[in-house]
Amino acid sequence: MNGICDDIKYLSRPRYDDFPPMSAADRAAQFSPFAALVGYGEAIAETARLTDSRSELTEDEANLLNAGLGRLLDITDERPEVRVTYFVPDKHKAGGRYIDKKGNVRIYDSYTGELVFTDGAKVAINDLLKLMIL
């Protein structure tokens, strides 16, 4: 088997005037792996991403939240500082996540049912889990 390729083993590669030699990096790129299934990696990552389920408030928690909202509405003109925990539904799959926000409430928009903060953020009353007036 050693003698079969001996006649070509030490020959140089052919050179052509109209085709410059390719760099080693360009030659290696021809054989590099490619994404046969475009978006497959992102789909796997999205499936693996965890979401929380929305918690149902107990009657006591709902009463406490309603009392806090009532106090907040009475002092909204003062732009009180509050800390809220609210649920944000996930755009791509079931569930979502809870977010804590601290800021000053500018108004309560009764048409949309949202607290509007001085920084422009809006939090729906139906998504509130906790409310604390600071």
Chain segment 103-114, per-residue pLDDT in tens: 999 999 999 999
The pLDDT assigned to 37 comes to 74
pLDDT tens digits for 56-90? 999 999 999 999 999 999 999 999 999 999 999 88
Using pLDDT thresholds of 50, 70 and 90, give the confidence band for residue 95: confident
More confident call, 9 vs 58: 58
More confident call, 52 vs 61: 61
Q: What is the 3-state secondary structure (H, E, C) of the chain?
A: CCCCCCCCCCCCCCCECCECCCCHHHHHHCCCCCCCCCCHHHHHHHHHCCCECCCCCCHHHHHHHHHHHHHHHHCHHHCCEEEEEEEEECCCCCCEEEEEEEEEEEEEECCCCEEEECCCCEEEHHHEEEEEEC
Using pLDDT thresholds of 50, 70 and 90, give the confidence band for residue 55: confident
Domain ranges (residues) in the chain: 59-133
- CATH pick for 59-133 out of 1.10.287, 1.25.10, 2.40.160, 2.30.30: 2.30.30
